Structure 1
Amino acid sequence: MPMQFLKSYEPRILFFLTLLGCVVSFIGCHDAKIWVLEAAPVLLGIPFIAFYFKKFRFTPLLYRLLFLGSSMLLVGAHYTYSRVPFGLWLQRTFFLKRNHYDRIGHFFQGFVPAILAREVLLRKGVVRHGFWLSFIVVCVCLAFSAYYEVLEWWAVAFKLDNSGDFMGAQGDMYDAQWDMFLAFVGSCMALVFLSEEHDYELSQVVGIKRKQY
């Protein structure tokens, strides 16, 4: 019974934990303006998820991934990516030249949207399973990653990020290329390792067999 209750209310629990995470992340954040810029995907996603919750309920797997991705963004927003303690620990432990927490974040920038794009494309009947589904999903993730790099550029160009914390290049001239490459790797790994589980959950949520959606 407790497990059944948890499964029924898991999306709501994760939603309110994300709201709580926004509050905790903002309190004592390094820079309020940078926090807004870095937490923007979460802040924009919350009303979208709430509005479409009854009309278009996602699979449990996707809700968990969205929560994981949101949590990583909110941690980065609180400290700014170059100051996240876990990244600094990695830098000291492995003698790295920079804090690589943002690299992890960009990996998940491909990993999480891949399942989101896959779910929407399948359930809306845009494309069926096969090569073209995977190709379009990866392209969507790369487009999202590239647009995010453009946003970082605009933030500097319009002097919204005078410190460079939002861009987070940390002196790496190939930072944008690394970010997009890691998003690409993340999207591919999500498709390789999660597609089977995602198909099973789609069959449970949508109520139709794989070949039909």
Structure 2
Amino acid sequence: MKPLPDPGFRLLLLLPVLVALAASAIDPYDRLTWLMEVLPVLLVLPLLAATGQRFPLSRLLYALIAVHALILIGGGAYTYARMPLGEWAKAAFELQRNPYDKLGHLAQGLVPALAVRELLLRHRLVADRVLAAALAVCVAMAISAVYELIEWAAALALGQGAEEFLGTQGDPWDTQSDMFMALIGSSLAVTVLARWHDRSMARIR
């Protein structure tokens, strides 16, 4: 049976993302950092719009993509090191740095892993759910590694101007902890969220 599109639900998720994106573009802390941080949103939204009728995704995946987009937009508007939500957490839990970027990297692992899992299972590319989970985590970690390479390239190209984009806040192990958060996120996606994801996918068949 052909999957049925769910335009009302998608529009409900899209509106706050577009509003947040427009608001973040008015006066971001650093324009170049804003562009680099929200670029994934600018690339993914047209892709989802183009494929929404032919291959609509599960409601759970759409919702998590929207949340991830809002995380990226917030980081772009304030920079990750200055995000007010992270500053609150830093003060409340007596942390040494603003932890907002770790939330972003958690989502960076969770959302791609869930997307890969959905594509593998719905296209029947993999029948075994354990293998699908393993492949989803591997792809999510590959995306995380590529993103860290992009940050490295930006640092080489922009020099000191890349500091806001990198958001290391003086942490020499920032790259490793970013990838570890992506590993945690991808692992949660294929374990804790697996049954919820299965039910959400079943509703569109």
CA distance in structure 2 between the aligned counterparts of 1:158 and 1:73, rounded to whole angstroms: 22
Report matched runs for 1:41-80 at 5 Å.
41-80=40-79
CA distance in structure 2 between the aligned counterparts of 1:17 and 1:82, rounded to whole angstroms: 23
- Structure 2, unaligned runs of 5 or more: 1-5
The SS at the match of 1:99 is coil
Sequence identity, in percent?
Answer: 37
Tell me which residue corresponds to 2:3.
none
Give the deviation of 1:130 after TM superposition.
Answer: 2.7
The SS at the match of 2:158 is coil
Give the deviation of 1:163 after TM superposition.
Answer: 4.6
CA distance in structure 2 between the aligned counterparts of 1:122 and 1:131, rounded to whole angstroms: 11
CA distance in structure 2 between the aligned counterparts of 1:185 and 1:101, rounded to whole angstroms: 15
Tell me which residue corresponds to 1:133.
132
Tell me which residue corresponds to 2:114.
115
Please list the CA deviations of residues 189-208 of structure 1 after superposition, one character each: whole Å capped at 9, or x if unmatched.
Answer: 12222111111122221x2x
CA distance in structure 1 between the aligned counterparts of 2:159 and 2:185, rounded to whole angstroms: 29
Please list the CA deviations of residues 36-89 of structure 1 after superposition, one character each: whole Å capped at 9, or x if unmatched.
Answer: 001111011111011111111011111100001001110111000000011111
Q: Which has the higher contact order (CA 8 A, sep 6+)?
A: 2
Please list the CA deviations of residues 156-195 of structure 1 after superposition, one character each: whole Å capped at 9, or x if unmatched.
Answer: 1111761501111111111000000110001111222211
- TM-score normalised by the chain length of structure 1: 0.89
Change (3 A) 1:11 1:82: same
Change (3 A) 1:39 1:175: same
Report matched runs for 1:10-89 at 5 Å.
10-89=9-88
- TM-score normalised by the chain length of structure 2: 0.93
Give the deviation of 1:140 after TM superposition.
Answer: 0.6
The SS at the match of 1:30 is coil
2:86 is the counterpart of 1:93: no
Q: Give the aligned CA root-mean-square deviation in angstroms.
A: 1.4
Change (3 A) 1:85 1:188: same
Change (3 A) 1:46 1:161: farther
Tell me which residue corresponds to 1:3.
none
Please list the CA deviations of residues 2-44 of structure 1 after superposition, one character each: whole Å capped at 9, or x if unmatched.
Answer: xxxxx75011221232222210111111011110001111011
Tell me which residue corresponds to 2:170.
171
Letter of the structure 2 residue corresponding to residue 31 of structure 1: D
Query: Number of paired residues?
Result: 200
8 Å contact kept, 1:110–1:141: yes
CA distance in structure 2 between the aligned counterparts of 1:50 and 1:27, rounded to whole angstroms: 24
8 Å contact kept, 1:21–1:74: yes
| Residues 18-27 or 79-88, more deviating | 18-27
8 Å contact kept, 1:155–1:161: no
8 Å contact kept, 2:108–2:144: yes
